[in-house]
Structure 1
Amino acid sequence: MASQARLLNLIGHIDNSKDTWRIKVRVARLYEVPSWNNPKEICRIEMILLDEKNDKIQASVKDKLIRVYRPLIHEGELYTISNFLVLENNDKLKTCKNKWKINFHRNTSVKDCPPIGIDKFGFEMVSFQNIFDQLPLPNVFIDIIGCLKGKSPVEIVRDEDGKTTKKMTIKLRDENSLILEVLLWGDYVDLLLNYVDSHPEKRVVVIVQFAKLKYFNRIPYVSNSFYATKLLLNKNCEATTSFLERYGDTDDDAYLLEEIAVGRSLSIQEEFLSLTKRVQIADIVAIKEPCFCVVVGTIKRVETQHDWFYSSCKLCATEVTMNDNGTFYCFKCKKTVKFVSTRYKVVFKVEDDSGSASLLMFCREMIQLIQKTAVDLRETLIKNGEDGLFPIEFDDLLEKQFLFKLNISEYNLSKNYKVYTVSRITDDPELLSAHFALLQTQELYNVSDAATATAGTSQTISFINENESVSVIGDNREMNSSDACNITPSKRGIEEVVPGELYILGEEGQSSAIRPRIVVKVEKDV
């Protein structure tokens, strides 16, 4: 008597109780992740698997098995997969909502299967209204759809090694006339522009799948990830058809795109003049809860009792400790690292009419001001036999006035630590003049209300710069990737360590290190 065929399992039933699951799935997304210390070497393959119930699960193939499984698996195809490890998904950012993820091992079976009722895309569209209501989980990738209504000029962003990438903000409109902004990086910029330029009189419906949801002063926006995100332009699919039916024909000028301003844009003005409260330096010590605030002050001196740089893990930018054998240990990554980066960590004494404070600036702000990396300055000092001294370039900042956006952190308050992190800086004369004018016409921020941190915000802003603060000394000392840009006004761009992303911060200590070219999955129909 023939043995009964093994039953198929649904993704929703999978847990870590056994390793003998058997699933029929479509590979909704497949991407290769380069090694952080050798961009030409693939360290793993990531997949997002989809079943007939539209449930998803993340799956990984580690480096030693890539040569076995890469020829067998292709994006969009259907497979029966059995015998795999099931682990809890503890990633900071998740490609899907599933609590579990799959790891292939050498006995994992992958077999082609005939067409069955599994959707090609598995969209789980999140409405703009739900995004503005902050209903989606912020640590899970989302899918959105909207009609392209505006785009900013392309900006060229440099990292600490001088490598450049492109970024651009676009505006999407939904069927309820809500506007959501999307920040595109790298090849995503070129691919969208190429399509728009070749279809100048065509309405463009944009689907961004597996996108990151972020917040700027509590205002949501969406950004692509390095590898996981799919960009679909006027895709011939049910999602596009359904959206256009809801959208209707009332938007007669749908193909006319608004030009979103960059540089001294409304978002920068709002951030320094209205969305973040103003205080005098002497009032900072009265703040009782974590918040952001803006002060204007003059840099008086460098506080040389603090180091001006630190050695960091190249993967997460956290400060490392040196082992007895000369290697380094990263407590955040929980492993020994062979190579480290040199990064800025400079404390300045800043004064206004009310008093003075110690303000800490990391790489992003220092590169804006100095236009040189920490590695550049340290190499010069060593070459001149001055290692151990502070760079003379810091003297050029003395007696100059800036607007500082400060992060008053929980660490500052709980430890009574009076060195405050600068999360943004500008010397824009118009912003400085407007700041002083506001001080003359209205009372300063009531520090007892500092817990509110920001003023009321609208549902859309002209967002050009991403905003997440670095931690103060004593925290993880984690810093995000930098935009080395002109000081007026300030700009920053960030990435987060997420599934499917290579996240290299400051490959300064290794001249051969190259940031990998971003490989983008784009599907478009003319």
Structure 2
Amino acid sequence: MGSNMLFVRDITPRKVNFSLRVKVMKIQIMNGKGYDSGKKTLELIVVDEQGDRIGVNIRHVLKPKFESALREHHHYILRNVVVVDNPVRFRSIHWNHETKLMFTHKSTIIPFESSQWTGPEGFNFLQFSDLKSPVLLKAGVTADVIGRVNSYGNIKQRGQTDDIPSKFINFELKDLSDVVVSCTLWGQFCIDFYNYMKKAGEDQCVIVLIQFGTTKDYIGELTVSSDWNFTSVLIDSDDVPAISDFRARLLELHANDNSVGSLAPMLTPPTNDLTKWFKDVKCVGLDDLRPDNPGIFVVHATIIAILPDEPWSYIACKKCNKKANTVDKNVDLTLNIDELLALERYCKKCGEKPKVQLRFKVSVRVEDDYGTASLTLFETQIQNYFDKSAYELQKSLPEDQDQPDELDELLGKSLLFKLEVSDFNRDRTYANYTVKDATTDSQFIQVFNEKYQTHKAGDDSYSFDVVKESSTSKVTSSTKGDSTSTTDGSQAVDLTADSDNSPLKKRIKTEPGTSPMSFSSSTNKPN
């Protein structure tokens, strides 16, 4: 008995004995789950002639049979496939399938020529306005988007690991209707995007295409993020018709603009970054910081001294960056750094024997126009100021010297510090505060100055409203801080009290903000 030819939207969980004409858009080798745990499977994304997509699973026992027969961007008729639940994997925003297809031993594929294909050839772009629509407001579905870069921030990292997959960057895309959508790229995509933006000319209009991105819910609004497996990212690849067509239409719409520079991205963090950074904080002067007043505060201050009696590094668990304590409490302090790293240690947070590394943890004295304070900075907040790692500095440190001279690179640096006055500070009257985040970004400083003036006027009910600068400004630094407490690896000692009579210093201001290139990034795929 012949099988019925269906479209993706006709497929239901109980549908059997059907055929499907598709174009294979993506093939990915995946780690199997369930019965395929520990084995490699094939995951496909296919599109039908109506433009609807669906995921396809090929189990490890069938992988050798079909892997060599399937090719991306080729066309096939699928027969004798079964419909299964799709709780997590690929879902299309245009047709939100809670099912996917799976090959069995009876499944067959019949290739056919591209000339016989009447469906779309490539992308299925989501309108940015759809991401604002309550009807389509759902996270975890897959979408293609294209737009020009409107603004972007710096590379950040999730959690405490410092590997490439943990790195991400937030930026904004604007479509032809001037609707803006926030996006996030992870891992190597993040690094490629940031490096490209750094090299792009200040007047360059940068077009980004994200294929198979995933929608995420951020404060009630959908954003688009790269997926770990299926996403492809194309940047200024004008050999791709979708990008060249978008650029041509964009330039046509802006034909009366004075220069193409009006389409260049602002080198400033997306609004979401600013909103999150200043949420539930008080912007104050150093004279407002007291151990008996816990909370999260933001100050703008200049580093004037490295505290000589405080440790400048600590041995940390590689997984969480918390202090890794030695099992043996009687440690020979004459051991060199390699011998100290080799000692058996444990991590209170991870509850296991950790792999360890030496990380920065530097206590500094800072000053603004109103006073001074002691702060503790961690690895991710200051590592960009040094050419060497904490381990390399320790290895080259003379025996008669407690701190490396390279720490002096921090002196005179003016930063916006987001810090915590904790219960630990209050209970022990401990006036050294943990820095949670630090940046030299001019737009962050502008928002701080506005909020600080409101605070000085006696009104802390500041309404956050970011107005983007019309002129292009250069993002010099923006780093995410460690969550490590100042109690990790440091002894609770009473430091010099804050002084309100210190000499006034002028704040060091950030200076306002190079050939076109093109590349395509995508995840690995089968040969």
Give TM-score scaled by structure 1 length.
0.53
Structure 2 CA distance for partners of 1:102 and 1:21, relative to 1, 3 Å:
farther
Match of 1:210 in 2: 212
Equivalents in 2 of 1:339, 1:520: separation in Å?
31
Written as runs of structure 1 = structure 2, the 5 A alignment for 1:277-292 is: 278-281=283-286, 283=288
Equivalents in 1 of 2:421, 2:66: separation in Å?
46
Contact 1:289 1:410 in 2 (8 A): yes
TM superposition shift of 1:5: 4.2
Match of 2:45 in 1: 48
* Alignment equivalent of 1:362, drawn from 374, 379, 399: 379
Match of 1:73 in 2: 70
* Alignment equivalent of 2:109, drawn from 108, 111, 116: 111
C-alpha distance after superposition, 1:336-362 (max 9, x if no partner):
999776554555564554453544423
Match of 1:89 in 2: 88
Equivalents in 2 of 1:27, 1:337: separation in Å?
46
Contact 2:7 2:49 in 1 (8 A): no
Structure 2 CA distance for partners of 1:85 and 1:458, relative to 1, 3 Å:
same
Contact 2:304 2:366 in 1 (8 A): yes
C-alpha distance after superposition, 1:268-324 (max 9, x if no partner):
9x999xx957322454679999977343143544584796352324xxx76698999
Equivalents in 1 of 2:416, 2:440: separation in Å?
7
Structure 2 CA distance for partners of 1:463 and 1:109, relative to 1, 3 Å:
farther
Q: With CA pairs under 8 Å and 6+ residues apart, which has the higher RCO, 1 or 2? A: 1
TM superposition shift of 1:262: 9.6
TM superposition shift of 1:403: 1.7
* Alignment equivalent of 2:418, drawn from 403, 406, 410: 406
Structure 2 CA distance for partners of 1:311 and 1:391, relative to 1, 3 Å:
farther
Equivalents in 1 of 2:73, 2:46: separation in Å?
10
Contact 1:267 1:463 in 2 (8 A): no
Contact 1:31 1:228 in 2 (8 A): no
Equivalents in 1 of 2:46, 2:423: separation in Å?
41
Contact 2:284 2:297 in 1 (8 A): no
Contact 2:5 2:18 in 1 (8 A): no
Question: Bigger CA drift: 23-32 or 96-105?
Answer: 96-105
Contact 1:87 1:102 in 2 (8 A): yes
Structure 2 CA distance for partners of 1:279 and 1:468, relative to 1, 3 Å:
same
Written as runs of structure 1 = structure 2, the 5 A alignment for 1:9-408 is: 10=8, 25-30=22-27, 47-51=44-48, 54-57=51-54, 69-79=66-76, 80=78, 82=81, 88-89=87-88, 109=107, 111-114=109-112, 118-127=119-128, 130=131, 142-146=143-147, 174-177=175-178, 207-211=209-213, 228-231=231-234, 233=238, 235-236=240-241, 249-252=252-255, 257-258=260-261, 278-281=283-286, 283=288, 293-298=298-303, 300-301=305-306, 304=310, 308-313=314-319, 343-346=359-362, 348=364, 350=366, 352=368, 353-354=370-371, 356-363=373-380, 365-380=381-396, 391-393=403-405, 395-396=407-408, 400-406=412-418
C-alpha distance after superposition, 1:401-423 (max 9, x if no partner):
5222416699999x999854443
Q: What secondary structure is seen at the aligned counterpart in 2 of 1:144? A: strand
Q: Which runs of 5+ in 2 are unaligned?
A: 32-38, 328-341, 489-507, 513-518
C-alpha distance after superposition, 1:42-72 (max 9, x if no partner):
9886643334564445567799987665423
Structure 2 CA distance for partners of 1:254 and 1:439, relative to 1, 3 Å:
closer
Equivalents in 1 of 2:215, 2:386: separation in Å?
32
Q: What secondary structure is seen at the aligned counterpart in 2 of 1:258? A: helix
Equivalents in 2 of 1:18, 1:422: separation in Å?
54
Structure 2 CA distance for partners of 1:210 and 1:439, relative to 1, 3 Å:
closer
Letter in 1 for 2:255: D
Match of 1:455 in 2: 465
Equivalents in 2 of 1:455, 1:20: separation in Å?
57
TM superposition shift of 1:367: 1.9
Contact 1:48 1:56 in 2 (8 A): yes
TM superposition shift of 1:30: 3.8
Contact 2:155 2:169 in 1 (8 A): no
Contact 1:29 1:228 in 2 (8 A): no
Equivalents in 1 of 2:139, 2:422: separation in Å?
21
Contact 2:283 2:452 in 1 (8 A): no
> How many pairs were matched up?
444
Match of 1:38 in 2: none
Letter in 1 for 2:45: I
TM superposition shift of 1:207: 4.3
Equivalents in 2 of 1:424, 1:283: separation in Å?
19
TM superposition shift of 1:228: 1.5
Q: What secondary structure is seen at the aligned counterpart in 2 of 1:367? A: helix
Equivalents in 1 of 2:257, 2:292: separation in Å?
48
TM superposition shift of 1:76: 1.9
Q: Which runs of 5+ in 1 are unaligned?
A: 35-41, 478-486, 492-516, 522-526
C-alpha distance after superposition, 1:432-487 (max 9, x if no partner):
9x89998997753867437x6x4334599958769684452269x9xxxxxxxxx9
Contact 1:19 1:86 in 2 (8 A): no
Letter in 2 for 1:75: E
- Over the matched positions of the two proteins, sequence identity in percent amounts to 15
Contact 1:343 1:362 in 2 (8 A): yes
Give TM-score scaled by structure 2 length.
0.53
Structure 2 CA distance for partners of 1:221 and 1:72, relative to 1, 3 Å:
same
Equivalents in 2 of 1:176, 1:22: separation in Å?
39
C-alpha distance after superposition, 1:64-116 (max 9, x if no partner):
987665423322233427369756328xxx78556868797996956245456
